Homo-oligomer: A and B are copies of this chain.
């Protein structure tokens, strides 16, 4: 790998040290102080609507000029109504319980020592994400509530918007007597990102949020600990003992409710015993909803018989996160084959079985190795909001520290506090 530009390394080190100093203040704040600051930030954003929307117009203009696709422009756009929603999300975070100080477990030892494991902030957290301004505010808010200083690196296509948002939020912090360096926007080119990813010891954690390419880059280049989020090659398996009405609703919802997100299903596996009954209905409904179907031989035959358009599935399809109205379809001889398929192609995000058979459900939930395993429910439920966490910073698909929807507690670590009256080891 090429050397990182030394000026970028210095820039990140300076920002990270300032963030560290700020994080020490944040770690000691009461919940009341943090909640008041979150509300002040939200009010500040509301008051700065014109300024933020104008900055966003600059980004949108540049985006249109450079031929940015409509979908990305839509994610980039921040009109007054959307900004109000983003500000409101900060107030919602204020209403959530404070994870810091929670006693996770504790006991009094035989020698009288009182030990307790207490949640504390992680310290300095780097977020690397795409041109989605709402993530800038969400990450700042969740960071503040969990007592962490954040260094934010959004996609460069949103740089004017992000600068406006961060300026407003830093001013909001200062108005509350808090250090502005609790929220830092990392500007500069690719070398600034690489410097962030290699600032081991200065930055405690990097959370990438975005497509597979961004996440792969961060995971590969980072020497700072990373929590991987998001890639979802998600399956719905319709078992021999499935209620086919539930199976139809769950498959269609999992695929079409919001196809661009990580918990949308990408692949349908159908037990051969119900294939003849189920496939004509589900393929017709998926196709009717605009889903491009990639079928194996048997499901292709059913599609033909039902007069549904389809194309042949490839090995690559099975391994693809479409994030779009496309789906691979395969008929499997039994539950074992479904489990083997998921082991081979799944990304460990969310897997669902539709069945009324307790034994099949039990095997599926025990044997599938994923962050979330659903029985008779849409895969779209793997979500911090749906799980009742109130907010999420991403969905972890790794096994260490956090797995599944990451909310405020996942932005903390713990510390053991041991209180004695002179105990020594014999």
Chain A positions within 8 Å of B, measured between CB atoms, are 24, 27-28, 107, 109, 113, 115, 117, 120, 122-123, 204-205, 220, 223, 225, 227, 243, 245-246, 249-250, 252-254, 257, 361, 365-367, 369-378, 380-382, 386-388, 398-401, 403-405, 413-425
Contact = CB atoms under 8 A, between A and B. Distances in A.
Given A413-B400, A416-B373, A378 B205 contact: no
Contact of A420 (B24, B109, B225, B376): B376
A246 B370 contact: no
Nearest to A375: B419
Given A373-B415, A415-B370, A418-B372, A425 B378 contact: yes
B413 A403 contact: yes
Among A245, A254, A387, max chain B CB count under 10 A is at A387
Nearest to A120: B369
Contact of A416 (B249, B371, B378, B423): B371
Contacts of A421: 246, 376
A109 B28 contact: no
Given A400-B225, A400-B400, A401-B400, A377 B414 contact: no
B423 A377 contact: yes
Nearest to A107: B388
A420 B421 CA distance: 51
Contacts of A367: 24, 27-28
Nearest to A412: B399
Contacts of A123: 369, 399
Contact of A372 (B253, B361, B374, B415): B415
Nearest to A226: B225
Nearest to A200: B219
A227 B245 CA distance: 46
A260 to B, nearest CB: 14
Contacts of A405: 416
A378 B424 contact: yes
A415 B372 CA distance: 6
A28 B254 CA distance: 28
Contact of A403 (B107, B399, B414): B414
Contacts of A204: 399
Nearest to A253: B424
A250 B223 CA distance: 38
B371 A253 contact: no
B109 A373 contact: no
A375 B413 contact: no
A377 B416 contact: no
A373 B419 CA distance: 8
A381 B107 CA distance: 14
Contacts of A227: 400
Among A254, A372, A413, A416, max chain B CB count under 10 A is at A416
Given A246-B421, A253-B425, A422-B243, A399 B413 contact: yes
A397 to B, nearest CB: 11
Nearest to A227: B400
Given A204-B399, A367-B28, A400-B401, A419 B372 contact: no
Contacts of A113: 377, 381
Contact of A422 (B225, B250, B252, B361): B250
A95 B115 CA distance: 23
